[in-house]
Structure 1
């Protein structure tokens, strides 16, 4: 995998999309102040963990993880944090779902294609294979999606409700796009938990702002250690079928 020699100070991202050093401290401080003001207005309550968790890993494939790709960036820290949660989920027999992009050269263009003009090589399919460090098992479902949200035009909601899942742990990329959209669609049906070290974004500013928005309005943003501890206490559940 290609590497980026100028990873942002947050441990991941694209060097040309990082916050200037002189702005990072004041910005993060301001975001904390904003969170406090939202708390005073009754936002950012905690949903907590339920008793039937599932894990979803969003788009941790080469196209997002290789800085040499059009929308790729250095996200090794996110992959490693995600693997920690996956190991705990597997030990607890918690259902795990992965997503990647449903690349199809024959798909008709959409209006959104005008916003981002993808530059795919002829053999693009391999770009959307999951990172092998995730150690995906044959019993762990892979959803190939066309849209930002893992719920849109897929059977994810049906699968989760069939398993009586009440808590969805969301990890992957990108914080401001597919992670955010998935949390948005999940929040009316499930308790949503986001381990902060296990989500990432090519742009440091977008990551921090959207992570705050997720924590205020959509999910509990917590740390990986907390999630691993809760998973270790989870009851065994049957895995999702392929």
Structure 2
């Protein structure tokens, strides 16, 4: 990292001994044409996440997913749903089924964490689930890089897990927002890694 504070940032967390894969909010609202959070080109991130899933499943590492679900009336959405009104698409029973995970799908036994805020850890059982499974490294994929991926990676670090954000397996509303957030995550909160490194590490 260049600049007057370059030496103060961008240390490496390294890989632990027990990784898990967390697929964040890869739901129809982001991945399908016409979705309320439609991404311009989600295909490469979906393909990369598929490669991570294959590696993790083959090696027997935990795979966890997140989705966003609000109760009818959005009372559990707090101020977040006021700030981002389009989140109403995730209200229980809402038309369109935008909150459905797809096109990739969880397999039986894989935990699906339902959340109401950006972080996969906030108000959920995720940390307890990871600790019970002996996980020390969390490989992060999904959407969006600047939102739920970023918030979840930061909270992974806060909870004592080594976050590994896979560059090719995340996406955002613009490439510029995606890249800028990856740079900042890598500087302060996570190791941003390439797909090849993540797949190789998950296969072990």
TM-score normalised according to structure 2 size: 0.90
Instruction: Write the distance in 2 (CA, Å) between the matches of 1:181 and 1:82.
Output: 19
Partner of 1:112: 80
User: What is the aligned counterpart of 1:142 among 104, 112, 115?
Assistant: 112
Partner of 1:129: 100
Partner of 1:21: none
8 Å Cα contact 1:38/1:216 also seen in 2: no
Moved over 6 A (4+): none
Structure 1 portions without partners, runs of 5+: 1-34, 234-242
Structure 1 residues 148 and 90, CA gap change in structure 2 (3 angstroms): same
Instruction: Write the distance in 2 (CA, Å) between the matches of 1:124 and 1:141.
Output: 25
Instruction: Write the distance in 2 (CA, Å) between the matches of 1:158 and 1:228.
Output: 25
Instruction: Write the distance in 2 (CA, Å) between the matches of 1:198 and 1:164.
Output: 24
**Residue 12 of structure 2: SS of its match in structure 1?**
coil
Structure 2 portions without partners, runs of 5+: none
Partner of 2:15: 49
Partner of 1:93: 60
Partner of 2:50: 83
Instruction: Write the distance in 2 (CA, Å) between the matches of 1:49 and 1:88.
Output: 16
Question: CA RMSD of the aligned region, Å?
Answer: 1.8
TM-score normalised according to structure 1 size: 0.77
* Larger displacement relative to structure 2 (87-96 or 39-48): 39-48
Instruction: Write the distance in 2 (CA, Å) between the matches of 1:222 and 1:101.
Output: 26
The structural deviation recorded for 1:64 is 1.1
Instruction: Write the distance in 2 (CA, Å) between the matches of 1:204 and 1:87.
Output: 26
The structural deviation recorded for 1:38 is 7.0
The alignment of Structure 1 onto Structure 2 pairs a total of residues equal to 198
> What pairs up with 1:183-202 in 2 under 5 angstroms?
183-188=153-158, 189-202=160-173
| Residues 81-108 of structure 1, C-alpha deviations (whole Å, 9 max, x = no match) | 0000110000100000000111322332
* Larger displacement relative to structure 2 (173-182 or 66-75): 66-75
* Larger displacement relative to structure 2 (93-102 or 68-77): 68-77
8 Å Cα contact 2:80/2:117 also seen in 1: no
**Residue 195 of structure 1: SS of its match in structure 2?**
strand
The structural deviation recorded for 1:225 is 0.6
Instruction: Write the distance in 2 (CA, Å) between the matches of 1:37 and 1:162.
Output: 41
The structural deviation recorded for 1:137 is 0.6
- Bigger radius of gyration: 1
Instruction: Write the distance in 2 (CA, Å) between the matches of 1:197 and 1:124.
Output: 31
